[in-house]
Amino acid sequence: MNRIPLTVITAGLVITFMFAIATNAAAEDDAVLLGDWPENPPQISLSLSGETPERALHTAAKQAGWGLVLNVPEEHLKDPLTLMLVGKPATEVFSIILQSRGLVAEFKDEIVFVRLRETPAASKRDRGEDEDDDDDAAEVTLKIGPNGLDINIDEEKSKRRDRRRKKRSGRHRERVEIGESVRVEAGEKVSEAVAVGGSVEVLGHVEHDVVAVGGSVTLRPGSEVGGDAVAVGGTVEVEPGATLHGDRVGVGVPLPFLGGAAGLSSILSIFDFFVQISGMIILFVISLLIFWVAPKRIRRVRDYIAAQPGFTTLGALVLPIGTTLLFLIMLATIILIPLTPLVVLAAVVMSLFGMSALFLLIGEKIPFFRATKTPIGSMLLGFVVVFVLSLIPILGWIILLIAGPFAASATLLSKFGSEPKSSIAP
């Protein structure tokens, strides 16, 4: 795998950060509108007096031609609402109504899903915690009195805390470990079990998928897996008495860190291997940074790759040739030689920007964790796929040589994910 010079990585990081901040200043990000809303929403008009927020949302959705799902307690929709909006984008109308009642909405498949804005108590419930856990802090009271230090222990509160902990221990959850193995004990029930750089051993019940990257998957007698069992760089073993409802997938990728010193020396030295890992981690961190400051542009680049894979591939073939010709012209003119570093930086920035979109697209296409997958999680899955493929001898070199120009091509052709011009005159 080609090693990226540290100076180029550092320069690319600085330039990318400056560019992303500049582009993000122009991107509108409404805190109440979640997910990917239409870039060019229909224009609607509302004139309501003394109507409920539910009626306002229903009217706005109907005019926009969208479906509507309300998951809001009735008490939050009782107070009357008066507004008059003429010829406004549907997203702006929804934003005004939602902000007036402390609601948020997500757009999926032409349907608007409305719910309450997350509160600290709701966050605790989502994590499987109890809202009264903060009372545990007052479990021990220290008082300084005339007779010295008085320590008071609230035993009843300690008992309540222990009962809550036992209750939480039985709740469904995901088991994800990086650099370690995962073991699902007998009687334990989890949603998914994933180990990156380790193995997975199941004695209990996994509702969905079991995945091991750089390890093996073993299902012991009495265990049950509701989804697929996948091992990249290892094997899948289903012992008698174990139940696997999905597919058994084993990909025997020769990972250097699994083969001991002999296997490692046949591919790369230990030093070179960790340099490669460091370079890939830096690449992923830069990708996350770019997505953090310019999420909408990254999504547009992703959409361009998905919609125009042929043009993107053609651009990936033409771009290196064009860049080489540009270098030759600049060298021939002599006066333009000082500008060659700028061309290199531009190519690095376009590649990094496109790689963020490529990680996101690959991760979204992977059929794992669909119910709980976030953009950051999708990028991580996409990065893991590219990283594992890059470790395959010869094929890994080819993939990396293609990925850079392909990502740069998508960035250039999509104009850094610029928003398409509206066909409606202002």
How far apart (Å, rounded) are the C-alpha atoms in residues 144 and 62?
66
Sole residue written with tokens 């993939």 = 399
Read off the pLDDT of residues 295-348 as tens digits, 9 standing for 90 and up: 889 999 999 998 888 889 898 888 888 888 888 888 888 787 888 888 888 888
Tokens linked to 264: 């490692």
Looking at residue 219, what is its pLDDT?
A: 93
How far apart (Å, rounded) are the C-alpha atoms in residues 189 and 183?
11
Mean pLDDT of the chain: 75
Tokens linked to 301: 């680049």
Looking at residue 329, what is its pLDDT?
A: 86
Residue 57 — very low, low, confident or very high, per pLDDT cuts 50/70/90? Answer: confident
Mean pLDDT for the stretch of residues 360-385: 81
Task: Measure CA of the first residue to CA of the last residue in the chain; give whole Å.
Answer: 51
Pick from 41-45, 102-106, 218-222, 264-268: least confident:
264-268
Looking at residue 35, what is its pLDDT?
A: 76
Pick from 46-60, 233-247, 299-313: least confident:
46-60
Is the pLDDT confidence value at 93 over 60? yes
Is the pLDDT confidence value at 162 over 50? yes
How far apart (Å, rounded) are the C-alpha atoms in residues 384 and 399?
14
Is the pLDDT confidence value at 279 over 80? no
Answer with the residue of higher pLDDT: 221 or 278: 221
Q: List where CATH 3.55.50.30 sits in the chain.
A: 33-116
Looking at residue 160, what is its pLDDT?
A: 62
Residue 223 — very low, low, confident or very high, per pLDDT cuts 50/70/90? Answer: very high
Looking at residue 101, what is its pLDDT?
A: 78
Which of 67-81, 155-169, 199-213 has the highest average model confidence (pLDDT)?
A: 199-213
- List Cβ neighbours of 53 (8 Å cut-off, separation of 6 or more): 76, 77, 79, 81, 97, 100, 101, 103
Looking at residue 205, what is its pLDDT?
A: 92
Which of 30-39, 251-260, 314-323 has the highest average model confidence (pLDDT)?
A: 314-323
Is the pLDDT confidence value at 168 over 70? no
Looking at residue 265, what is its pLDDT?
A: 39
Mean pLDDT for the stretch of residues 64-75: 83
Residue 161 — very low, low, confident or very high, per pLDDT cuts 50/70/90? Answer: low
Pick from 105-114, 144-153, 336-345: least confident:
144-153
Mean pLDDT for the stretch of residues 128-138: 46
Pick from 7-21, 310-324, 402-416: least confident:
7-21
Answer with the residue of higher pLDDT: 424 or 173: 173
Looking at residue 34, what is its pLDDT?
A: 81
Pick from 118-122, 174-178, 180-184, 384-388: least confident:
118-122
Element (H, E) at 399: helix 395-413
Task: Judge whether 245 and 416 are in contact, CB under 8 Å.
Answer: no
Query: Helix 270-293 to helix 375-390 angle, to the nearest 10 degrees?
Result: 150
How far apart (Å, rounded) are the C-alpha atoms in residues 357 and 343?
22
Pick from 30-44, 161-175, 181-195, 367-381: least confident:
161-175
Tell me what percent of the residues of the chain surpass a pLDDT of 70: 71
Read off the pLDDT of residues 343-364 as tens digits, 9 standing for 90 and up: 888 888 898 898 999 988 998 8
Whole-structure pTM value: 0.39
Looking at residue 19, what is its pLDDT?
A: 47
Mean pLDDT for the stretch of residues 183-209: 89
Residue 172 — very low, low, confident or very high, per pLDDT cuts 50/70/90? Answer: low
**Candidate CATH numbers 3.50.50.60, 3.55.50.30, 1.20.970.10, 3.40.50.720; the one for domain 33-116:** 3.55.50.30
CA distances from 244 to 85, 97, 235, 252 (A): 56, 48, 15, 20
Answer with the residue of higher pLDDT: 188 or 334: 188
